[in-house]
Structure 1
Amino acid sequence: MTRELNVLGACPLDCPDTCSWVVTVKDGEAVRLRGNRDHPYTRGALCVKVNRYLEHAAAPDRILHPMRRVGPKGSGSFQRITWDEALDEIARRLTSIVDEFGGEAIWPYQGTGTLGYIQGETGQAGRRLWNALGASYHDLNICSRAGNDGLRHTNGTPGGMDPETFAQSKLILLWGTNTLTSGHHLWKFIQDARAAGAHVVAIDPIRTRTADQADEYLAIRPGTDAALALALMHVVLDEGAEDRDYLENHTTGWEDFEREIRKYPPDVAAEITGIPEKDIRALGVRLAHTRPTGIRATMGIQRHRGGGTAMRTIASIPGVTGDWRHPGGGVAYSTSAHVPIQADTRPDLLEKPVRTLTMTRLAEGLEDTGDPVKCLWVYAANPMGSTSDQNRIRKGLMREDLFTVVMEQFPTDTVDYADIVLPATMQIEHTDLHAGYGHMYLIWNEPAVAPPGECLSTTETFRRVARRLGLTEPSLYDTDLEIAAQLVSGDHPALDGITVDRLREEGWVRLNYPDPFVPFTEGFPTPSGKLEFPPEGRGYVAPFSAATGGPYRLAMITPAAHTFLNTVFGNNPELRRRAGGPKILVSEKDAADRGLSDGQRVRVFNDTGEMAAHLEVSDRVAAGVVATTKGHWPKLNPDGANANVLVGEHDADMGRGAVYHDNLVEIAPLA
């Protein structure tokens, strides 16, 4: 008899929407995947990428068994081994490294391939084991750190608007965010707002598919967002529309910040941002007289030298206008800070403080000969495809004295440099708990099918490693359900009534916040209890790409592709076909100045590296700006490189954030 079962789960990928999904299972096989129609944010829809998730999980290049390298590093040549053989070698090598160099010689390099609290980054999966071994601390700063820190300076937290309240906004600024590609579920709430008369403005260096759908589009130079924010507030002051009551009772530092604002009238900002003065002034007037105004600014906006300051300054706007008073007013960056779940990583297992190794400085860390990394353990990450300074990372991974273990689902570029490869489960095959960073819900992921081959979950892999190492700490062997119960056991009011049993039964639960949720009604979590404006002189930090006079004149940004999520799906044949190979968008003027033509093969280069691409002459970028999407697997490109070969290991102004959108390049014909 054929038996059909619907299993509730959650998309694990690095996207604010964290969709609730339904997997239909027939005779033990996952046969259908759809968005959960009952979930208030997912509303039945998945994205073009995740719609192919079941196909992806069954792909012929799925890694199904442990493997040991048999060829040179980088060759991708492996032989199948048993789990016992893999664990024996891992235990032997780790023990030797700890005995000779200390636990800090181990770098557990975790990424955002899954954001789960049990299996993934949000819960720092595996950290208990690493603490028991005294391994270095991995600072996962690559995605949003500069913006998080900037928002903490202003609001005391990165948490802001509930995105669902955009339905109540009257003016919506989509600032440095391509909603229809990177979090399209918000668009339904924007459509609700537009139906009620809201005006939507897209501010972006690229005229994206979101900008095409907006009422207004402002083409801004990369990294100059803070200057625009200051100019808009300047117009608000010119209009006499600042909320004096809010400024007096709910903010601090206003006198200094007002002087900073006065330094950036629209004509000055026009020179910096490339946006015509009249357009800045017109938007400033609209902002001055439209309540509530909701600002959506996501992670791409802060991946440049002044990224933290940019978010700090943009977050000041609702302090001047008083928009935090209203549902639909304020700034939405990430809702993660509203989730009162703290994973117990057992820092008490550390015998002594350990060093911190920074994710965005992988090349530097692998080059350090004074205190060398001897084991790199990579999981939920593909640094050869996703991390800055690709050439230097490749050189570091080639070190024969570096023992590299990679837990993976597919043979990525990083896998090619591993000594041991461990097969990892995918989301439909393991238990997890998720919270979106773009909504206010916890979502349970129940495994729908058995893992294929010999694939193991992250937690089970680390339980087996701990057992093979002979470690006796009981918490290293907690089951997934025990970990889940610990995660939701806090006494924060937002968790009242939320249990593992309830999550498993219902699939998702909204956190216990008012609906609509208006943050900061009881004050800000800052030292003063108020919104804290930047001090004078701290309102704008020019990007690296603002430099002039050097050999490289084109500011390059690397936005998300519509068909990939970081490098996830970069090997899917159909999504690769839709994406095409790497291409570089260039304005007609910049192409003509260099004697280049549409469709031509070109080399894009700077002092860090070079890549080949097809040139696309486009009006989607302004003169002086070029764009190429991230996510292509280097080894699937003819020259073995992607856009990160052009990005150096530079730091943003806060949190050592990544600077993927702040690089100068040049373009020439490919010989």
Structure 2
Amino acid sequence: MTLKEMAKDPKRTMVVIDPRRTETAEMADIHLQVKPGTDAWLLSALGGVLVQEELIDRAWIEEHVDGAEDVMAALREIPVAQYCEISGVSEELVRETARRIGGAESVAIFEDLGIQMNRYSTLNSYLNKLLWVLTGNFAKRGAQYIPAHIVPITGKLDKLAAGAEPKRSPVAGERIIAGLTPCNSIADEILTDHPKRYRAMIVESGNPAHSVADSQRMREALSSLDTLVVIDIAMTETARLADYILPTATQYEKAEATFFNFEFPANYFHVRRPVFGAPEGVLPEAEIHARLCEALGAYTHEDLAPLRAAAKQGRAALLPVFFGNVLSNPKLSPMAPVILYRTLGPYLPAGLQSAAVVWGLAHQAARENPGSLRRAGFDGDGFEPAEKLFDAILDSPSGVVFAVDEQDENWARVKSPNGKIQALIPELLEELASLGNASTGTGDSAFPFVLSAGERRSFTANTILRNPEWRKKDRDGSLRINPDDASQLGVGSGDRVRLTTKRGSVEVQVEVSAMMQAGHVSLPNGLGLDHTTQGGTRIQTGVAPNELTSTEDRDWLAGTPWHKHVAARIEALA
């Protein structure tokens, strides 16, 4: 179902929370036009109304949730009227929204970078989830779900017991969540004489010199590394700082897949075929990884010999050898994707050698979600479902449904010891309680505007399309500003202004837009890139937002950058 269809359905209510009057907000039944950076107060007020007006599902909570009483006690104390005023949304509208959530047959909630890269990032996500947890909107039609996966996005993570101390980065002591170091602490992990500082990095299909906060400091950090290796399809800002650049084929020249597979009940997976041959001098990532592993001595020819011999006989012969020689071997198991590429890859259809790793993923999916695969048509005994799935992936150039779920599968994917949702996170309840004394706005009269540094627009594409000629509108990436603010500054669309933050200052063209509320401005993401023309001239188009952001402006718990809440000032240029 599309958003337009949803908006036209009289049996559905679409609620949008956004400081901007976006195209989606225009379609919504309810638009909660929150003041920039005050989402935590608004979400707290919604949760407060649910609890205070008994709009929750107590029977469901009793059966399926642990720690709910402490959470509800905290929400019972929320001063709803005060928090609505802080967020800039009328109390009447907030209460109406909460009542619709509490009385709905089903509720589904989706959040994105607007609140995740903002003040109270982790708390915002927590409060969002409490809205559907407290109303029992999980594992039923039209509600929240956990999809089957080909591979878990966060990998195979160690479970952290309640109260246990999380892993932390070696220098800054930042929490390592889902195996990831917060991007805003990377420079701190490098620019130090600490004996455990980061000394080398491999950057693959990423551009931290442009995409991580505080580009000036990130460039300094990357330049300070003993070794920087970049694997990419383009000469990026990060690649220009590298000691070694390993060029790879583009998405059109190699087999490729995405693992963001979140559909329910039918979930899809697609290995895309190459449509062009790669130019001379570039390699697919799988080949680069294999050559690096071999140069490092991660495995030997003797290690692979029995696997190559088995693969020559077919996948049925390879299975026991792979499981016995690789997955049970602590030395070789981390190399499994590369080993499959080297041994099984040569026997796959032309152009699909890199898809060898998907054979292992198909077996993992069949082991972890056997019922889901069976309902999708991949049945049989033993390893048959996995082998059928892999064959279907190879034979389906437009993708394949690999899993069909029933609602009960959701509960099997809740991995807490007792199978219940764990609602109580003490650190976040403490932060929730602190909202009553917290400041809003920018907190600095010298920087009265809130800048969203990196807005999605019709013609933004991260940093993969570097030639500005593809941009049919807003070629240079204008600064969007509210009409009243523009009037006070004495500027109009097409005029240029100076935009300044505590980390930098740029000149940028203005676009006056009724979409923006007073005090809120935005720049698009993906600009400020350099591009070399056919004549050899290097040009730069637009403003790189992270020339204006700071690494210190980040979530206290997860380290998430506040790209959507940057204090700024604007001056008209003559």
TM-score range, shorter chain: 0.7 to 0.9
Gaps of 5+ in 1: 1-166, 168-186, 348-352
CA contact (8 A) 1:405 1:419 kept: yes
Question: 1:38-49 residue pairs with structure 2 within 5 A?
Answer: none
Between Structure 1 and Structure 2, the one with more strand by share is: 1
Q: Please state how far the C-alpha of 1:252 moved relative to its aligned partner.
A: 2.5
Amino acid at match of 2:482: S
| Residue equivalent to 2:219 | 394
1:529 corresponds, among 391, 414, 419, to: 419
- 1:292 paired to 2:166: no
Q: Please state how far the C-alpha of 1:538 moved relative to its aligned partner.
A: 4.2
Between Structure 1 and Structure 2, the one with more helix by share is: 2
- 1:607 paired to 2:432: no
| Residue equivalent to 2:360 | 486
Question: 1:230-249 residue pairs with structure 2 within 5 A?
Answer: 230-249=44-63
Question: 1:151-166 residue pairs with structure 2 within 5 A?
Answer: none
- Percent identity between matched residues is 23
Question: 1:6-45 residue pairs with structure 2 within 5 A?
Answer: none
Amino acid at match of 1:601: R
Question: 1:119-134 residue pairs with structure 2 within 5 A?
Answer: none
| Residue equivalent to 1:580 | 475
CA contact (8 A) 1:391 1:609 kept: no
CA contact (8 A) 2:442 2:449 kept: no
1:225 corresponds, among 16, 19, 39, to: 39
- 1:668 paired to 2:482: no
| Residue equivalent to 1:44 | none
Question: 1:472-621 residue pairs with structure 2 within 5 A?
Answer: 472-473=299-300, 474=303, 475=335, 476-479=338-341, 480-490=354-364, 491-492=367-368, 493=370, 494=372, 497-498=385-386, 499-507=389-397, 508-514=399-405, 517=407, 520-521=410-411, 524-534=414-424, 535=426, 536-539=429-432, 546-557=441-452, 558-575=454-471, 577-621=472-516
- 1:451 paired to 2:307: no
CA contact (8 A) 1:231 1:266 kept: yes
What secondary structure, in the 3-state scheme, does the structure 2 residue paired with 1:427 have?
A: coil
CA contact (8 A) 1:233 1:284 kept: yes
| Residue equivalent to 1:655 | 558
**d(CA) in 2 for partners of 1:552, 1:465:** 48
**d(CA) in 2 for partners of 1:220, 1:240:** 25
Classify 1:364/1:670 alpha carbon distance in 2 versus 1 (closer, same or farther; 3 Å). farther
| Residue equivalent to 1:363 | 187
Classify 1:550/1:442 alpha carbon distance in 2 versus 1 (closer, same or farther; 3 Å). same
Q: Please state how far the C-alpha of 1:389 moved relative to its aligned partner.
A: 0.5
- 1:464 paired to 2:291: yes
2:30 corresponds, among 187, 195, 216, to: 216
| Residue equivalent to 1:626 | 521
**d(CA) in 2 for partners of 1:553, 1:251:** 43
What secondary structure, in the 3-state scheme, does the structure 2 residue paired with 1:230 have?
A: helix
CA contact (8 A) 1:303 1:661 kept: yes
Using structure 2 for the length normalisation, give the TM-score: 0.73
**d(CA) in 2 for partners of 1:277, 1:570:** 46
Q: Please state how far the C-alpha of 1:256 moved relative to its aligned partner.
A: 2.1
- Cα displacement string for residues 320-354 of structure 1 (whole angstroms, at most 9, x for unaligned residues): 22222531123x7xx67744558999x9xxxxx99
Moved more, 642-651 or 210-219: 210-219
CA contact (8 A) 2:50 2:98 kept: yes
- 1:251 paired to 2:65: yes
Q: Please state how far the C-alpha of 1:316 moved relative to its aligned partner.
A: 0.9
Q: Please state how far the C-alpha of 1:625 moved relative to its aligned partner.
A: 1.7
**d(CA) in 1 for partners of 2:128, 2:528:** 34
- Cα displacement string for residues 286-330 of structure 1 (whole angstroms, at most 9, x for unaligned residues): 222222121121243211241111111111112222222531123
RMSD, aligned α-carbons: 3.3
Q: Please state how far the C-alpha of 1:646 moved relative to its aligned partner.
A: 1.6
1:418 corresponds, among 228, 236, 242, to: 242
Q: Please state how far the C-alpha of 1:425 moved relative to its aligned partner.
A: 0.9
| Residue equivalent to 1:382 | 207
| Residue equivalent to 2:87 | 273
What secondary structure, in the 3-state scheme, does the structure 1 residue paired with 2:455 have?
A: coil
Classify 1:227/1:602 alpha carbon distance in 2 versus 1 (closer, same or farther; 3 Å). same
Amino acid at match of 2:237: D
**d(CA) in 1 for partners of 2:22, 2:467:** 24
Moved more, 466-475 or 428-437: 466-475
Q: Please state how far the C-alpha of 1:398 moved relative to its aligned partner.
A: 4.3
What secondary structure, in the 3-state scheme, does the structure 2 residue paired with 1:369 have?
A: coil
CA contact (8 A) 1:571 1:633 kept: no
Q: Please state how far the C-alpha of 1:204 moved relative to its aligned partner.
A: 0.9
What secondary structure, in the 3-state scheme, does the structure 2 residue paired with 1:450 have?
A: coil
| Residue equivalent to 2:382 | none
Q: Please state how far the C-alpha of 1:258 moved relative to its aligned partner.
A: 2.0
- 1:317 paired to 2:131: yes
What secondary structure, in the 3-state scheme, does the structure 1 residue paired with 2:470 have?
A: helix
**d(CA) in 2 for partners of 1:546, 1:343:** 34
Q: Please state how far the C-alpha of 1:413 moved relative to its aligned partner.
A: 2.2
**d(CA) in 2 for partners of 1:567, 1:368:** 29
- 1:306 paired to 2:120: yes
**d(CA) in 2 for partners of 1:662, 1:526:** 34
What secondary structure, in the 3-state scheme, does the structure 1 residue paired with 2:42 have?
A: helix
- Cα displacement string for residues 160-179 of structure 1 (whole angstroms, at most 9, x for unaligned residues): xxxxxxx5xxxxxxxxxxxx
CA contact (8 A) 2:7 2:29 kept: no
Amino acid at match of 2:187: A
Classify 1:627/1:242 alpha carbon distance in 2 versus 1 (closer, same or farther; 3 Å). same
Question: 1:344-355 residue pairs with structure 2 within 5 A?
Answer: none
Q: Please state how far the C-alpha of 1:391 moved relative to its aligned partner.
A: 1.3
Gaps of 5+ in 2: 159-167, 171-175, 304-334, 342-353, 375-384, 532-538
Classify 1:624/1:437 alpha carbon distance in 2 versus 1 (closer, same or farther; 3 Å). farther
**d(CA) in 2 for partners of 1:417, 1:240:** 58
Using structure 1 for the length normalisation, give the TM-score: 0.64
CA contact (8 A) 2:486 2:512 kept: yes
CA contact (8 A) 2:449 2:568 kept: yes
